[in-house]
Copies of this chain bind each other. A is one copy, B any other.
Amino acid sequence: ARIVLLPGDGIGPEVTAQGRKVLEKVAKTFGHTFEFSTHAIGGNAIDDFGDPLPEATLTACRNSDAILLGAVGGPKWDDPNAKTRPEAGLLRIRKELGLFANLRPITAQECLIDASPLKREIVQGTDILFVRELTGGIYFGESGLTKNADGSETAFSTATYSTHEIERVVRIAAIAARQRSGHLTMVDKANVLEVSRLWRRVTERLIRAEFPDLKYDVVLVDAMAMHLISRPSTFDVVVTSNLFGDILTDEGSMLPGSMGLLPSASIGSSGPGLYEPIHGSAPDIAGKGVANPLATILAAAMLLRHSLKLESEAKAVETAVDQVLAQGFRTRDIAPKGHPSIGTEEMGQQVLDALK
């Protein structure tokens, strides 16, 4: 299998290196051949090629089986008036590769619960799979800016969805729900938005026709922002549009007590998937060897599962991570006060050692 590595900016290269080592060990242990190639994306790609997603990167991605991304962005490229910004590379790769479903598991791990801003009894048992639509909605709809006669300006951004775009992402969520606890929640704002009313109709019809076995419910996005704090453990799979998913998955990422263990997968109906940690490029600790590589390693596990269909291999990586955590190994970001911590390399090595 061909795997493209997109280390990106900040701590991206450090954590991607550990992800690669784990994938190499998986290849060796289970007798697979993974070919790696590394390409530029984000801020460094702007610096070197004037483009956050250079043509060569996109071509390599198209010709690959899966992509492992580190992180993009940093203060150097943050000027809102800049001609091109790192995020543009992310948005474009999603669209170009048709990665319409973003899977974000949010699981409360016992070893981190006490670091959560929420009370233990609220977070305990939380195990949500968010499925966020990723190539439609207000992110990609028509937009514009008008200068009015009096010198004022009017801007607009349009949220658009079609039946097909809704169906394909809901189907992915519904299949996942079937493999989990069989509970699917769809989040919209159908009491106000026309585009949400279409989501509601299309989803209800699809679930009734193809997934009548699921427990299905709908929640308004404002209510969901509350429930996610007050009773997160009552959700299983949650599917929603691009913008609502952006907000809710980030809100949800606070629950486990650290983003350091949270991976994300962006997949389409065919072609390579894109896997990454949900944390950012953390420029403040870049190059110091202290970044937590576990989210990237868990993203590599998702890569094995979803793009390479190597379920046992994925499980093996996840089990190795669990074991390393159970043994008490912690990078700085997830170490309780007074607990000794290890660096990026060392954490990667521990996972390698635990991997069987």
Given contacts A117-B118, A117-B230, A119-B119, contact A155 B254 (CB under 8 A): no
B158 touches A162 (CB 8 A): no
- Give A351 Cβ to nearest chain B Cβ, in Å: 27
A250 touches B230 (CB 8 A): no
Most buried by B among A116, A153, A158, A228: A158
Interface residues of A in 229-271 (CB under 8 A from B): 229-230, 243-244, 246-251, 253-254
- Give A41 Cβ to nearest chain B Cβ, in Å: 16
B residues less than 8 Å from A179 (CB atoms): none
B163 touches A156 (CB 8 A): no
- Give A166 Cβ to nearest chain B Cβ, in Å: 9
Cβ contacts A138-164/B at 8 Å (1 or 0 each): 110101110010001111111111111
B residues less than 8 Å from A157 (CB atoms): 158-159, 193-196
Q: Which residue in chain B gives the minimum CB-CB distance to A141?
A: B156
A194 touches B143 (CB 8 A): yes
Given contacts A80-B200, A118-B229, A190-B80, contact A158 B156 (CB under 8 A): yes
B159 touches A198 (CB 8 A): no
A104 in the interface, Cβ–Cβ < 8 Å?
Answer: no
CA distance A91 to B251 in the complex (A): 27
| Interface segment out of the listed A50-58, A217-225, A307-315 | A217-225
A191 in the interface, Cβ–Cβ < 8 Å?
Answer: yes
B153 touches A163 (CB 8 A): yes
A209 in the interface, Cβ–Cβ < 8 Å?
Answer: no
Choose one: B156, B198, B250; the contact of A195 (CB below 8 Å): B156
A27 in the interface, Cβ–Cβ < 8 Å?
Answer: no
Given contacts A145-B194, A192-B139, contact A155 B164 (CB under 8 A): no
Choose one: B194, B222, B248, B251; the contact of A155 (CB below 8 Å): B194
A-B contact pairs, 15 of them (CB 8 A): A117-B119, A138-B138, A148-B163, A153-B163, A153-B198, A156-B160, A157-B196, A158-B159, A159-B159, A189-B243, A221-B246, A222-B250, A225-B247, A226-B253, A226-B254
Shortest beta-carbon contacts, A-B, top 7:
A155-B198, A152-B163, A143-B194, A225-B251, A222-B250, A154-B162, A157-B195
